[in-house]
Amino acid sequence: MIKKYMKTICVQGLGYVGSATIAALSNASDINGNPLYNIIGIDINSKDGLERISNINKGIFPFGSQDKSLSKAILKGKKEKRIFATTEISYFDRADVIVINIPLDITWDTKEPYINFKKFKNAIYDIGNNMRENALIIVETTVPPGTCEKVVLPILLECFNSRGLNIDGLLLAHSYERVMPGPDYLDSIINYWRVFAGYNKRASDVCEKFLSSFINVKDYPLKKLSSLTASETSKVIENSYRAVNIAFMEEWGLFAESVGLNSFEIIDAIRMRPTHNNIRRPGLGVGGYCLIKDPLFGLLSSKQLYETEELAFPMSQLGININSNMPNNNLNRLNLYVGGLKGKRVLVLGATYRSEVDDVRNSPSEVLCRGLDKMGASWDIHDPFVDSFENLNKDFLQEIPAANKYDILILTVDHNFYKEFDFLDWVEGTKIIIMDTNNILTEELCKALVSKNFRLLITGRGDLK
Ligand SMILES: NC(=O)c1ccc[n+]([C@@H]2O[C@H](COP(=O)([O-])OP(=O)(O)OC[C@H]3O[C@@H](n4cnc5c(N)ncnc54)[C@H](O)[C@@H]3O)[C@@H](O)[C@H]2O)c1
């Protein structure tokens, strides 16, 4: 299937980032509109891996998304016979560029969290043992700073040496994704700023040329950093900054709740100041794949890669702890408000870790539901984007049932579907208690509900009686 006159890109890891990268590469074209690349997606022989491979081979984007341009791009590549996916690692030998989008997880079930590099290292061996000289390798996986130089490079050098390849043909770069699954999923790759660094000048130049072939660098110029470690660090700081910012506002949300303030009113006022316009808001908590782990990468880098134990990263650690407590804080507040959750029938609206995505990884709603179980409440859950929590063996409601089946409604995710839902009409004739953990109900609706004597509990607000 490979078109010989086109360059071939291998994408290792076909998850939320890798699959979207394939879509972006499929759309890349020269000035005459001719497609630039053959793309080979490589994943592992697991349930998820095989499902993703099978979808891509059918021309389907493997995740539910409102952004239909992803499926369109993959279908285009498939119809033009330029895209396929496989578990066969020998295909790395076809690649001019290899993009790494596999996970690197933290192990939590030990005394101290740590990173087991074993699977990640094996994946790098898969590449090193099969790739050609002069193929560019770009690590996009979020890694503890120092990973490229201290883990990836030595493996590749070992493979090159054992295979008798020329070390001058080893081109390693790091460039991280800022992809945002949601309505602008594909756009967040193509029309967005990108940071990169190469191991040496040649790697950096080849990486710059490759990124410029599918990113709109005219409007979103690339930012080149001086080393692989600088680029890795930049990504980790970005995500740590966001996680700590959320944790910081959590404590002010609790303050507002306890002294009768509306923290959203205050935050809107602060956001008018340009230096503070990205201050976060209180909510249900932090989920997804990245923000719950990346803030620990500084600490784990200094411990495991640089062995400088004295760097404790207290703020990042505290941020992670505060954020992980948020679902239970919400639940405890609700428990007090309703005089005990035992025996209560609860409807939860929203399961994903953020709005307009189908991703339930580390979902705060799941933590909330586990807490409801512990407190003796029964619960049903609905989400317009997902059908089940696999971990909880719980099927979701397909539609929002009548309000009179429940004592309590908890709104958790600000999907547009809920923002547009007519809650005033839905609650009519019931005594349902409403908790909004994500600022989903408009001020007007809150006032209307309060005027009709509904009991309303809003995360970050203590002003509604
Ligand atoms: N999800 C996001 O929004 C996002 C944004 C920016 C950066 N990132 C980072 O990008 C990386 C990937 O994230 P993701 O959300 O796509 O993860 P994911 O879990 O959705 O996908 C990873 C894929 O890699 C596959 N894989 C694992 N080992 C492999 C191997 N040895 N060879 C080939 N495939 C292998 C898995 O089967 C899976 O399909 C992570 O480092 C993440 O932190 C994620």
Q: Ligand 1, residue 143: give the atom nearest the CA.
A: 41
Are 110 and 135 part of one and the same domain? yes
Judge whether 124 lies within some domain.
yes
Q: How far is CA 282 from CA 35, 263, 332, 406, 458, in A?
A: 45, 8, 15, 26, 10
> CA–CA separation, 285 vs 312, rounded Å?
24
Give residue 458 CA to ligand 1 midpoint distance, Å.
Answer: 35
H or E segment to which residue 7 belongs: strand 7-12
Judge whether 138 lies within some domain.
yes
Judge whether 463 lies within some domain.
no
Judge whether 87 lies within some domain.
yes
Q: Does the Cβ of 141 fall within 6 Å of ligand 1?
A: yes
Grade residue 1 by pLDDT with cuts at 50, 70 and 90: low
CATH number at residue 163: 3.40.50.720
Q: Does the Cβ of 51 fall within 6 Å of ligand 1?
A: no
What single string gives the DSSP state of each residue in 256-278?
A: HHHHT-BHHHHHHHHHTSGGGTT
Judge whether 85 lies within some domain.
yes
Judge whether 2 lies within some domain.
no
Mean pLDDT of the chain: 95
Are 136 and 104 part of one and the same domain? yes
As given in the structure block, the two tokens for residue 343 are: 């025996």
Q: Does the Cβ of 316 fall within 6 Å of ligand 1?
A: no
Q: Does the Cβ of 100 fall within 6 Å of ligand 1?
A: no
Are 48 and 166 part of one and the same domain? yes
Q: Does the Cβ of 49 fall within 6 Å of ligand 1?
A: yes
Are 246 and 147 part of one and the same domain? no
Q: Does the Cβ of 18 fall within 6 Å of ligand 1?
A: yes
Judge whether 1 lies within some domain.
no
Give residue 37 CA to ligand 1 midpoint distance, Å.
Answer: 22
Residue with tokens 């193929």: 135
Give residue 103 CA to ligand 1 midpoint distance, Å.
Answer: 4
The domain boundary, picked from 226, 260, 293, lies at 226
Q: Does the Cβ of 17 fall within 6 Å of ligand 1?
A: yes
| Choice from 43, 140, 185, 291 to test ligand 1 binding pocket (greatest atom count within 8 A of CB) | 43
> CA–CA separation, 278 vs 34, rounded Å?
40
Q: Residues with Cβ < 8 Å from 379, sequence gap 6 or more?
A: 345, 346, 347, 348, 369, 372, 373
Give residue 96 CA to ligand 1 midpoint distance, Å.
Answer: 21
For residue 2, is pLDDT > 70? Answer: no
Are 114 and 256 part of one and the same domain? no
Are 280 and 203 part of one and the same domain? no
pLDDT attached to residue 62: 96
Q: Which amino acid is at 359?
A: D
Are 310 and 202 part of one and the same domain? no
The domain boundary, picked from 159, 191, 226, lies at 226
Specify the number of domains making up the chain.
2
Please give the average per-residue pLDDT across 225-251, as a whole number. 97
Residue 345: strand pairing partners: 378
Are 312 and 243 part of one and the same domain? yes
- DSSP class of 294: G
Grade residue 313 by pLDDT with cuts at 50, 70 and 90: very high
Note the pLDDT tens digit of each residue in 88-132.
Answer: 999 999 999 999 999 999 998 888 899 999 999 999 999 999 999
> CA–CA separation, 56 vs 75, rounded Å?
8
Count the Cβ atoms, other than its own, within 10 Å of residue 78. Answer: 20
Q: Closest residue (by CA) to atom 19 of ligand 1?
A: 15
Are 219 and 358 part of one and the same domain? no
Residue whose C-alpha is closest to residue 222's, from 186, 176, 275: 176
Are 166 and 276 part of one and the same domain? no
Judge whether 267 lies within some domain.
yes
> CA–CA separation, 340 vs 334, rounded Å?
8
| DSSP E strand boundaries for 155-278 | 171-175, 195-198, 223-224
Please give the average per-residue pLDDT across 269-283, as a whole number. 97
Give residue 313 CA to ligand 1 midpoint distance, Å.
Answer: 25
Q: Residues with Cβ < 8 Å from 196, sequence gap 6 or more?
A: 138, 173, 174, 175, 204, 207, 208, 211, 222, 223, 224, 225, 231
Are 221 and 246 part of one and the same domain? no
Residue 199: strand pairing partners: none
The two beta strands, 394-395 and 388-389, are antiparallel
Q: Ligand 1, residue 178: give the atom nearest the CA.
A: 6
In angstroms, how far is CA 59 from the centroid of its own chain? 23
Are 110 and 198 part of one and the same domain? yes
pLDDT attached to residue 3: 67
Q: Which domain does 444 fall in, by range?
A: 239-458
Q: Closest residue (by CA) to atom 17 of ligand 1?
A: 15
The domain boundary, picked from 192, 226, 260, lies at 226
Q: Ligand 1, residue 288: give the atom nearest the CA.
A: 1
